[in-house]
A and B are shown apart, each in its own frame.
Chain A
Amino acid sequence: MTVVGTRKLRKEDPKLLTGEGKYVDDIHVPGELWMGMVRSTMAHARITGVDTSAAAAMDGVHAVYTGTELSEMGLWAAPLPCAWPVTEDMVNPPHYPAATDEAHHVGEIIAVVLADSRYGAADAAEEVVVDYEPLKAVASVAQARDGADTAHSEHSTNKAYTWALIPDPEALDSAFANAVHTVEADFVQQRLIPTAMEPRGVLAIPSPAGGEITLYSATQVPHILKVMIAATTGLPESKLRIIAPAVGGGFGAKLNVNPDELLAVTLANKLGRAVRWTETRSEAAFSTHQGRGQLQKIELAADSEGKLQGVRVHLDADMGAYMMLITPGVPLLGSFLYTGVYDVPAFGFTCDGYFTNLTPTDAYRGAGRPEASYAIERAMDLLANKIGVAPEEIRRRNYLAGGREFENLETASTLVFDSGNYTPNLDAALEMADMNALRAEQTRRREAGETKHLGIGLCTYVEICGLAPSRALAGLNYGAGGWEHAVVRFLPTGKVEVVSGSTPHGQGHETSWSMIVADKLGIDPDDVTVLHSDTAISPLGLDTYGSRSLSVGGVAIAMACDKVVDKAREIAAHQMEANPDDLDFAAGSFTVKGSPDKTLPIQAVAFGAFTAHNLPDGMEPNLQEQVSFDPPNFAFPFGTHVAVVEVDEDTGGVELIDYIAIDDCGTQVNPLIVEGQVHGGIVQGVAQALWEEASYDSDGNCRNPSLLDYLVPSAMEVPFMKLGSTVTPSTSNPLGVKGVGEAGTIGSAAAVINAVCDALRPYGIDDIEMPATPARVWRMIQAAKAAQNGEG
């Protein structure tokens, strides 16, 4: 019986659902001190004085340090890291955990209080008096580009870099020169505040005698954090142990190296006492990086049939105040996807990164790719309208490989797509959505003059995941590799331990990895224990982001299992007095070909490897193997999403009434987990389309830092989603798997806005800015009605 492919319930859920899972904030040690952050209340200001005397005198306050004092204490060996300097001449202003003389965004740390209690730390932080000399704030990327003020007063421009990918400039120019139809559109990717259920938190525990420090952090990247803490603090990496205990979601916002993590480690080390901090929800809007923040321009050139000849894209990307770990690279992750699933002969992409006086941006579910699929999929609808064909028809005409199944296909953006088969996927979605019936209902409503307009939106996305190939990452100037590490070992009693380099924070690694191992070794998945997220237990790993865990880390585990079986075969052959090649391995037992009664279970082999009484000459005892897998290529999942909305012309209200998604993530290990990922991903994309936006005033203050005004949707706001899948195995790894953690988000925002625009087509409205709030929709309808009346 194979386990892979079944809807096995998640192993980790009973623990998490009953409160047994321990998050950072649940872990306490005696004598711990709480950090309270004094944060800048101004987006851009010179700091002329910081008076900590009142705070320092409060009961229960152990110490108060200003940014200047911290830097004089010699805690930093280097600024906070940016691992992705996308160009040689990229501007990267020094960024330390606390500001010294100039604050560059609201929420930047200016001083740190250490107190006996969390509340005491917050009270004392209130008592620190900061004198500011306000400077002009750069409060948007447009202002950064067009205005005279600079976000960093020592800079003469806000531009951080220009990055270009134009494989054949002449071909691109001629595609546009010869185009019959062109489309030009500008889109705004508003800033989003990542909102994991668990906010970030840290607890650094020193061992004063041994000089070691254990950092518990609500992080996606314990391994990367370890390297980076060593590099930024000068503490020996061998003295650092990072543990990510139960982590309640991350969505990219927990893949950074943050000021609070560095403060906790260095202050714990200095004071010889444990130091902790847990972000409040409102604090998260300032202390954790944000997502998106791009102005996009996309141009399409097409022939008379709507067949694409060229795609040209320019982005102005909002870096925020500083470069965090991969801030500048996020737009690049999308760059290769602006041609979508289409066969585009000529392509060009340029991106200018700008500094603003806003919270830094960085990866957020999809990181660059939702932006890309939004732009191309919105633009395809505009093209369809222009030449008067249905959205699905324009897509069919342009699919790579004519929509037929392909493997290893080079695209105009220079990447080689591992596999695809787009037409059947589209057809499945249209059928599940019952597109003809929807269109008939839309027409009926229009003809009846009803005020609730039906809109149907399509998105056929492709994404790039499984970060990975280290060589390809090198080509992009990325500062690390993309391999993943796994260890698989039999314990003497026949149970199996897996050490995973990728670190779960909600994805269900323990379940999926057990399933892979169960099939590979022919054992019960409940006999597999997955160890992870502690650098002392799992010293090698590159962690979880970019939908890479399964297609890199899961594959490493499968490969380690193969090595285990190979070694077991040698031992079994030796013990059964057969040739290794004459042994079959199935259902957990070795049998000699042709004599089915001669069998040896792998657990017995494992025990034999443990006792080492009777091993082949020269063979090492124990049954344990490790693999570092570096895939030859990325994986390219794809799918078709259909959103159905109802737009109330009287209120401007948009209701999502149906959602259909057919995703193709290659071979599925656990369809239940796949669906869970798709559900959450879709809602996060719908949230960008309809609800979420970090809104800033012209002074750079966030107007909606709390969940009262920052509208994260709940289950009440989304319909019961209809999901299906097609399976086109990846050629990038032996399991044929692709990632699915971000796919939902990458497909859904465009589907929803395409649906809203489809509903509003009778008004001549062909675009609306995200989020499509009722007020915004109503205003557009009013303007369109006025224009129509004016004409009529």
Chain B
Amino acid sequence: MIPATFDYLEVDSADAALAALAEHGDEAKLMAGGHSLIPLMKFRLATPAVVVDIGRISELSYIDDSGGHIAIGALTRHRALETSDLVKAQAPILAHVAGQVGDPAVRHRGTLGGSLAHGDPASDLPAALLALGGSVVVRGPSGEREIAASDFFTGFLETALAPDELMTEVRIPKVPNAKWSYQKFNRRAQDWAIVGVAAVLNGESRVALVNMGATPIQAGAVEAALAAGASIDEASAKAAEGTSPPEDLNGDAEYRAHLAQVLVKRALTEAS
């Protein structure tokens, strides 16, 4: 399909990106890898007047050891996460999940920041962030703020990011000894999950669900049950509690609720 007319602006620094946002306001849309934004534009579901291309801001592409956590630039590509020794050692689930996104072409272009900022409930990386209990750092006209993953996803394709803010960094706690599992169920290798489950067991248990509601969500009932000492069977039976799964050609809500239980059980079993 063919997108509507737009102006294209390439910026090479975070400051320039913020300035462009300040200038064009609601009319502007940031583009990182473009792998979520461009499809929306081609369907004319998004019709920004100005596309601000932040894809080449090299200062926002890094994976650093910051002592207590790993600091990842928002423009880090999925492929860089997948292959990073630091991520593999300190938060292996993140490297693994990055390797489950789409196909190699997608992973070489898509960015961590873009995937989180897009806030698609069917995406893989938001679930990893939730299960890891990470946070994101955003910058706007009034400075910088850090938002916990659990506060970040606010509605369908909506996040706590304001239109004039830029995500600059993602912070991931180091969990080298955590037990973890990622279960992605789809029909073709390159597809989004019909349902997915990310589990990180590190003293406390965090379980996040893919495609089980309007936003990436945590399986609160499962986490509570595990905290209260429930068995895997008992906990996974609660996988769909409090969720509102979508219905599409891949399955109705009932099927997704069932899949969530199966996959939570598999995740917990694999991680334990």
Contacts and interface: CB of A to CB of B under 8 A. Distances in A.
Interface in B248-267: 248-252, 255, 258-259, 262
B228 interface: no
A717 B5 contact: no
Contacts of A650: 262
Contacts of A691: 187-188
Interface residues of A, number: 31
Interface residues of B, number: 25
Nearest to B248: A709
Contact of A123 (B4, B103, B255): B4
A775 B251 contact: yes
Contact of A774 (B2, B248, B251): B251
Contact of B189 (A122, A282, A716): A716
B190 A282 contact: no
A448 interface: no
A639 B251 CA distance: 35
Contact of B262 (A118, A651, A717, A779): A651
Interface in A668-712: 690-691, 695, 703-704, 706, 708-709, 711
B5 A119 contact: yes
A679 to B, nearest CB: 17
A713 interface: yes
A714 B185 contact: no
Interface string A104-127: 000000000000001100110010
A280 B2 contact: yes
A704 B249 contact: yes
B2 A775 contact: no
A711 B187 contact: yes
Contacts of B250: 773-775
Nearest to A708: B39
B194 interface: yes
Nearest to B189: A716
A652 B248 CA distance: 16
A716 B249 contact: no
A653 B188 contact: no
Contacts of B39: 708
A775 B188 contact: no
Nearest to A713: B188
Interface in B173-210: 185, 187-191, 194
Contact of B185 (A123, A281, A282, A651): A651
A123 B189 CA distance: 35
A477 to B, nearest CB: 39
Nearest to A36: B2
Given A651-B262, A695-B249, A775-B250, A714 B188 contact: yes
Interface string B1-17: 11111000000000000
A778 B249 CA distance: 14
Nearest to A691: B187
Contact of B194 (A280, A709, A774): A774
B191 to A, nearest CB: 8
Contacts of B187: 653, 690-691, 711, 773-774
Interface in A273-291: 280-283
Contacts of B194: 774
B251 A714 contact: no
Most buried by A among B187, B189, B251, B262: B187
Contacts of B44: 126
B4 A703 contact: no
A717 B189 contact: yes
Contacts of B258: 778
Contact of A703 (B3, B185, B249, B251): B249
Contacts of B3: 119
Contacts of A779: 255
Contacts of B249: 695, 703-704, 709
Contacts of A703: 249
Given A716-B190, A774-B194, A282 B1 contact: yes
Contacts of A773: 187, 250-251
B51 to A, nearest CB: 14
A714 B106 CA distance: 15
Interface in B231-271: 248-252, 255, 258-259, 262
Contacts of B4: 123, 126
A280 B259 CA distance: 35
A123 B5 CA distance: 8
A714 B189 contact: yes
B240 to A, nearest CB: 15
Contact of B2 (A122, A704, A709): A122
Nearest to B259: A651
A713 B187 CA distance: 9
Interface in A771-790: 773-775, 778-779
Interface in B117-146: none
8 contacts: A126-B44, A650-B262, A704-B249, A711-B191, A714-B190, A716-B189, A774-B185, A778-B255
Interface of B: 1-5, 39, 43-44, 103, 185, 187-191, 194, 248-252, 255, 258-259, 262
Given A691-B187, A706-B1, A774-B185, 17 more contacts: A119-B5, A282-B1, A282-B43, A651-B259, A653-B185, A653-B187, A690-B187, A695-B249, A704-B249, A711-B187, A711-B191, A714-B189, A714-B190, A717-B189, A774-B255, A775-B250, A778-B258
Interface of A: 118-119, 122-123, 126, 280-283, 650-653, 690-691, 695, 703-704, 706, 708-709, 711, 713-714, 716-717, 773-775, 778-779
Task: List 10 tightest A-B contacts by C-beta distance, closest first.
Answer: A716-B189, A122-B2, A775-B251, A650-B262, A775-B255, A280-B1, A282-B1, A717-B188, A119-B2, A695-B249
